[in-house]
Structure 1
């Protein structure tokens, strides 16, 4: 099962900051989470993301056993990314004892989740290719094979509609109590020719104004 975890505001612990660990840190830095790194040495490319308003805490320390996890509270995910496979295994086991999701860079099968190869469209739409950890290499090859085709199918109109749907969902709850009616209203925005023409002209403010006016009319009709 592929899921898209909401990491915003979560505490993520990365044990080991070599090349593979740094790859995960760079990916995590895009998710508005707090990243705590414990490592005696650090891959130089990690400094590319330090100081860019990313909440990153770097603790330089030699990692000798998994009990280091006992020093931290409220950790959502632990990444075992040391250069010692045996230590990584012990870190995964310790994380499980503490009820924390965990991932090992050298043993996907022992991890609680797998990484996917992502096709990213304007940081709004993500299409994931997964082999369930069986072959990360093949997931990347397949991603490269289909990425251009996917981006030709999904375009600016779709990303603009997502932005408008987000705006509408935030406001519709204040006007329409019934969930089925809310869903109908959201579908009607996609089917509204005038709204779609305004989006094509990049007139987002006019679209938002039309949505609010429509919701105001909805409330007026309900109160009569």
Structure 2
């Protein structure tokens, strides 16, 4: 029977997350956890050069030994990246007893959560999952979407955040605000950004009674407007 997982994004900032294992898979898991500002501890007799460097820089804690029962004390989440089936079962059992989120890599039946294939574009995160039955399919879908949702979406989401704030501060009814938000969401803004049609985008934004946030664009394209004015 296939588990039906509940999709969720976790706030791991400053939370203790333990990774058991020190190979390339563990390395990827650690890097993702650090991106989420988690407090990371690695338990493994040996680790990759990158993990060793992170430990030397004080970015992670490394306990140079094998896992033993009790290691999950105070952990908020644990990832087991080890090929030892017996150790995997022991880790999952302890995690279940202590009600700690646990992921045993590539063993869905020993997981209380699974890690989706993700696309990150600044504030935008898209997660893809096949409930653990085919990571290869999830990866293929991710690669397809990465071609469609390019780097222009980093700026796009930042822009929409600013415009939404402006709209919510307007002296309009809730219906009118929602209408403006939907109109902008349906506009081809990502395409304007991709092809740098900033003047056209400026007209679109100002037509809605909003201020074009030049500083956001300057952050991504330094001096872009001053160069255009020189033409």
Closer/same/farther in 2, CA of residues 50 and 172 from structure 1, 3 Å limit: farther
Which residue number in structure 1 is paired with residue 136 of structure 2?
137
Match of 1:18 among 2, 23, 45: 23
Which residue number in structure 2 is paired with residue 35 of structure 1?
40
Contact (CA 8 Å) 2:55, 2:61: kept in 1 or not?
A: no
- TM-score scaled to structure 2, two decimals? 0.65
Which residue number in structure 1 is paired with residue 217 of structure 2?
none
**For 1:184 and 1:166, how far apart are their aligned partners in 2?**
16
Which residue number in structure 2 is paired with residue 9 of structure 1?
14
Which residue number in structure 2 is paired with residue 67 of structure 1?
70
Matched, 1:160 2:159: no
- TM-score scaled to structure 1, two decimals? 0.67
Contact (CA 8 Å) 2:122, 2:154: kept in 1 or not?
A: no
Closer/same/farther in 2, CA of residues 141 and 43 from structure 1, 3 Å limit: same
Closer/same/farther in 2, CA of residues 105 and 190 from structure 1, 3 Å limit: closer
Closer/same/farther in 2, CA of residues 200 and 135 from structure 1, 3 Å limit: same
Contact (CA 8 Å) 2:55, 2:62: kept in 1 or not?
A: no
**For 2:97 and 2:153, how far apart are their aligned partners in 1?**
43
1:111 positional shift:
0.1
Contact (CA 8 Å) 1:12, 1:77: kept in 2 or not?
A: yes
1:2 positional shift:
2.9
**For 2:93 and 2:123, how far apart are their aligned partners in 1?**
35
Contact (CA 8 Å) 1:37, 1:57: kept in 2 or not?
A: yes
Closer/same/farther in 2, CA of residues 117 and 163 from structure 1, 3 Å limit: same
Aligned length: 197
Secondary structure of the 2:72 match is helix
Which residue number in structure 1 is paired with residue 61 of structure 2?
57
Q: What whole-Å deviation, never above 9, does each CA across 1:167-214 have from its counterpart, x for those lacking one?
A: 4566777888x9877655644655799xx98994298xx5348xxxxx
Contact (CA 8 Å) 1:8, 1:33: kept in 2 or not?
A: yes
Contact (CA 8 Å) 1:35, 1:57: kept in 2 or not?
A: yes
**For 2:187 and 2:106, how far apart are their aligned partners in 1?**
50
Secondary structure of the 1:162 match is helix
Closer/same/farther in 2, CA of residues 173 and 90 from structure 1, 3 Å limit: farther
1:93 positional shift:
1.4
**For 2:70 and 2:174, how far apart are their aligned partners in 1?**
47
**For 1:80 and 1:133, how far apart are their aligned partners in 2?**
15
Closer/same/farther in 2, CA of residues 167 and 99 from structure 1, 3 Å limit: farther
Show structure 2 runs of 5+ residues with no match: 1-5, 203-210, 215-231
